[in-house]
Amino acid sequence: MILYSFFRSSAAYRVRIALNLKNLPYETVGVDILTHGGEHLSDRYKAVNPQMRVPALGLPEGDVLLQSLAIIDYLDERFPEPPLLPADPLAKARVRAVAQIIAADIHPLNNTGALRYLKHRLGHAQDELDTWSKHWIGAGFEAIERLIDPAPYAFGAAPTLADVCLVPQVANARRIAMPLDRFPRIRAVEAACLALPAFDRARPEVQPDTPATGVPVGV
């Protein structure tokens, strides 16, 4: 499989974790969404993913999947071990709710595209962007802190889709130096997950496309 990825993208980070947890080998094709206007906007990449976002997953059959949560659901169905969702419908809905809080109510507001609009089209300074990001991360994390119960992962003794989404979002929060003291459960989940090679190897700092200068802050 080919993962169209960007080292700093937290949505791509989710898929990297899922692929690693399932021991699926993949080739990384870095799509630099940050410099020179963004490779994701090229005609070449648009032919891969009409939405022009990362991640996208190229399957051996030639099909390309898009949207991180749709990709992970596909992987979980095609490669069921280890499962990323509980079997019980109610437990599954609780895991999915935490994943969606991150994927729908936090990340879209602090991703590169939204921040660039705020900066370049609406003229806001980096500190206003950071305040905006911290607001949405804080609101989502307050809910998640009440919804999870680390044991040691967000929903029990094995990582689920909730952990797969949570760890990359915490990385985004740390990148803008957001204090996380009031989220002890989230921090405990992060620590438990990062002790696993599947999460550790998926970090932005250690990707094939990570620049030698490290992970940049800002847009």
Contact map string, positions 147 to 186, toward a second copy, x by CB under 8 A: x---------------------------------------
Cβ-based nearer residue to a second copy, 22 or 94:
94
- Pair 198, 16: CB distance under 8 Å: no
Applying CB under 8 A, which of residues 82, 93, 149, 218 lies at the interface with a second copy?
93
Phi, psi at residue 57, to the nearest 5°?
Answer: -125, 115
For β-strands 27-30 and 2-5, DSSP reports them as parallel
DSSP-derived pairing of the beta strands 64-66 and 56-58: antiparallel
Of 124-143, binders to a second copy (CB under 8 A) are 124, 128, 132, 135, 140, 142-143
CB of 88 to a second copy, least distance (A): 10
Check binding of 2 to a second copy (CB under 8 A). Answer: no
**Interface with a second copy, residue 78, by CB under 8 A:** yes
Length of the chain: 219
**Site size for a second copy, by CB under 8 A?**
46
Site track for a second copy across 5-44, x = CB under 8 A: ----------------------------------------
Contact call for residue 198 and a second copy (CB under 8 A):
no
Cis peptide before 82 (omega within 30 of 0): yes
**193, two tokens:** 């997950």
By CB under 8 A, residue 52 contacts a second copy: yes
Distance separating alpha carbons of residues 133 and 64, to the nearest angstrom: 31
Nearest 5 degrees, angle CA 63-CA 64-CA 65?
A: 120
Separation of first and last alpha carbons in the chain: 29
Stretch that binds a second copy, among 32-40, 92-100, 193-201, 206-214 (CB under 8 A): 92-100
Count how many Cα atoms sit within 13 Å of the Cα of residue 62 in the half-sphere of its side chain.
0
The reply to whether 202 sits near a second copy by the rule CB under 8 A is no
Task: Give the whole-angstrom CA distance, residue 57 versus residue 67.
Answer: 9
User: What are the residues binding a second copy (CB under 8 A)?
Assistant: 50-53, 59, 63, 65-71, 73-74, 77-78, 89-90, 92-94, 96-97, 99-101, 103-105, 107-109, 114, 117-118, 122, 124, 128, 132, 135, 140, 142-143, 146-147
